[in-house]
Structure 1
Amino acid sequence: MFYSFIIPVYNRPDHIEKLLNCLVSQTYKNFEVLVIESGSTIKSDEVVATFADKLNIRYIFKGNDGQGYSRNRGMQEAKGEYFVILDSDIVMPDSYLETVNESLKENYLDSYGGPDELHPESTDFQKAVNFCMTSLLTTGGTRGKKSSIGKYYPRSFNMGVSREVYETTKGFSIPFMGEDIEWSQRIIAAGFKTGLIEDAYVNHERKGTLKGYFNQLHFFGRARINISQLIPGSFKIVHLLPVAYCAYSLLLIFLFATNTPYKILLFVPFLLYNFFIRFSASAEHKSLKIGFTAVLLANTLMLAYCTGMLKEFYKLYVLKKKQTYKL
């Protein structure tokens, strides 16, 4: 089978170079690469040009209208029978595409997703970020993993779709803020088979600063509400857990300044939760430093996701400013 890698990039020439080097080393060679530059001010054209004699590669420059539409542009231009959509800030094992191809031969999927693992060059801060992004204690451990309930929804940091899926569903219908979740919902609704290829993992570079991490999770919170207006019924009660946690934390702050009887008992769940975060992260990475950092980042995750949800909820359902998109 002939594959097309679809890789949008925005101001990341250093990242795309690492990814393209991984593609050069792939053991399965029957593929092309399309790099779609989405209005970058720091362009990757010169980096891509250095791979012209190593890869079947094409470079496309377009306006900055969101990664969803950039991926669509790549799929419009692609020649493959199957499209592999990746973020630009990843690296992967040499056997990645061979693993995908063998898996699809044994158990064909119209659309697949793969896990994202820790980047090999990660700092201690990024290791703590990775823990918080993937732990059962924070995100439910569902990022890039098989959900125990319902169908599998591929995510666009590591996602594959057949040409038939793209031609039937027309690709991403929104440019950002949950565009992959929305598309996965439509793929499944159209009757296509989706699933996880557990061994088709990529190594994802996590945010390296507290500000960048907060902004990313704040955006995820906004995306969750944005999706709810596009897909009625997609919002579940479990999505309110960050809001409940933040409300509980505010209550604790209020109680700390009062003489409420037995108030210390109300602190026990908070202390236990944060203890398990620290213990689990420390044990996973054999580092107390990472464990303590994970406590800070787990609470940052809850705050960022909560404020993102509340901001978008206020915008969409109080101010009635519905998001509109134009292909």
Structure 2
Amino acid sequence: MFSVIIPLYNKAPYVEKAINSVLSQTYREFELIVVNDGSTDDSLNVVQTFFKSPLGNLGAFSPSLGGWGVLTQSNLGVSIARNNGVKVAQYDYIAFLDADDWWEPTYLEEMKLLIEEFPQAGIYGSGYFLIKNGVKRIAPVGVERTFKKGEINYCRTYSNTLCMPLWTGSTIIRKTIFESEHGFKPTLKLGEDFDLWIRVVQKYPVVILNKPLSNYNQDVELANRAIGEKLYEPYEHMLFTDYGALQSNPEFRYLYEQLALYGLLPYYLTGKNEKEVKLILSGINWKDHAFKYRLYYKILPIVIVQFWMHFLKIGSIVKQKMLT
């Protein structure tokens, strides 16, 4: 039923736990496809300890249903790695898991039941845990505590808390829909999942199981995470993507503006992508958003905002050290 895709780039300390969490699933009708994205550490050797057969090369890959396989490619990025994994997938539903995250044992079993109960949907998600500074907490996606499962309005739900209701490691999508949308955009290095999900949810129902069944590991070194202090070129970041007619959708527009006001601040303060940032900010409906953003972007001098952000960063570091 499920093809599980694990993109792998320099995650040697983590990938064993990820793979074990797949192999320990209570539901067994799945195949596992690891896509090695040109790792330069010991990641591939760790994977080889699980699989006895020779490693496959892209284009010469034919795992049996219920089996496994490893694709090898040069370092082309996570979007292409996932897309190449889906190309050889043989089951109808695609489940993604990054190499530094892991599933609870009943994830696939409970997602199968969700799919059977809501066959009309095109994309499915579960709740998930956030792990940061060794502390595990339930991700506060924007549904009511009493909500158990069912269809959601993706943009409205996301806007409630700005915590992803569809996080890649807890999301399952029909293969035919993934293919019809041409998968993840190869150029995107940040927000490639948001970009695909937002295209899908405009056409198909979204169903959520409000139960944490996956684990999002935020304790990985920043150097090995897309979300960190790195600033991206416009073609690499989902905030600089042209969403065309979607921008006229009020619910999408509100969500996008919230994400932009939060995510563009480092670019604004450093002058990175200055032209693109100014263009996005010129279209913001400021009255719809928190006053602090008007302070940051329109009222206070940049040097004051820079100082304040530096102060907040130091405070966060001190707090982390106190917790560890």
Q: TM-score, normalized by length of structure 1?
A: 0.62
Greater mean deviation of Cα atoms: 16-25 or 168-177: 168-177
The answer (yes or no) to whether the contact 1:177–1:222 under 8 Å persists in 2 is no
- Work out the number of aligned pairs and report it: 253
User: Within 5 A, what are the aligned runs for 1:75-224?
Assistant: 75-108=86-119, 109-119=121-131, 125-127=133-135, 150=156, 154-175=166-187, 176-189=189-202, 191-199=203-211, 201-207=213-219, 216=228
Partners in 1 of 2:236 and 2:125 — Cα distance? 19
CA 224–200 in structure 1, closer or farther in 2 if over 3 Å, else same: farther
The answer (yes or no) to whether the contact 1:178–1:220 under 8 Å persists in 2 is no
CA root-mean-square deviation = 4.4
Partners in 1 of 2:170 and 2:234 — Cα distance? 22
User: Within 5 A, what are the aligned runs for 1:229-308?
Assistant: 229-232=241-244, 233=247, 236-242=256-262, 243=265, 244=293, 246-247=296-297, 293=319
The answer (yes or no) to whether the contact 2:79–2:185 under 8 Å persists in 1 is yes
Partners in 1 of 2:219 and 2:143 — Cα distance? 18
The answer (yes or no) to whether the contact 1:177–1:223 under 8 Å persists in 2 is no
Partners in 1 of 2:197 and 2:227 — Cα distance? 24
Q: Which amino acid aligns with 1:104?
A: I
Report deviation, 1:86.
1.4
Partners in 1 of 2:179 and 2:128 — Cα distance? 27
The answer (yes or no) to whether the contact 1:38–1:70 under 8 Å persists in 2 is yes
Partner of 1:281: none
Greater mean deviation of Cα atoms: 151-160 or 198-207: 151-160
Partners in 1 of 2:302 and 2:231 — Cα distance? 26
Greater mean deviation of Cα atoms: 172-181 or 227-236: 227-236
Report deviation, 1:74.
0.3
The answer (yes or no) to whether the contact 1:26–1:95 under 8 Å persists in 2 is yes
Structure 2 regions of 5+ residues with no counterpart? 54-65, 159-164, 266-292
Partners in 2 of 1:53 and 1:200 — Cα distance? 33
Q: TM-score, normalized by length of structure 2?
A: 0.63
Q: Which amino acid aligns with 1:82?
A: Y
CA 184–95 in structure 1, closer or farther in 2 if over 3 Å, else same: same
Partners in 1 of 2:72 and 2:226 — Cα distance? 30
Aligned to 1:201, the other structure's residue is in SS state strand
User: Within 5 A, what are the aligned runs for 1:44-83?
Assistant: 44-52=43-51, 56-83=67-94
CA 156–222 in structure 1, closer or farther in 2 if over 3 Å, else same: farther
Give CA-to-partner distance per residue, 1:92-117, whole Å, 9 cap, x none: 21111101111111122321123331
Aligned to 2:173, the other structure's residue is in SS state strand
Give CA-to-partner distance per residue, 1:275-310, whole Å, 9 cap, x none: xxxxxxxxxxxxxx99972799xxxxxxxxxxxxxx
Report deviation, 1:170.
2.0
More strand by share: 2
CA 214–162 in structure 1, closer or farther in 2 if over 3 Å, else same: closer
Aligned to 1:14, the other structure's residue is in SS state coil
Report deviation, 1:14.
2.7
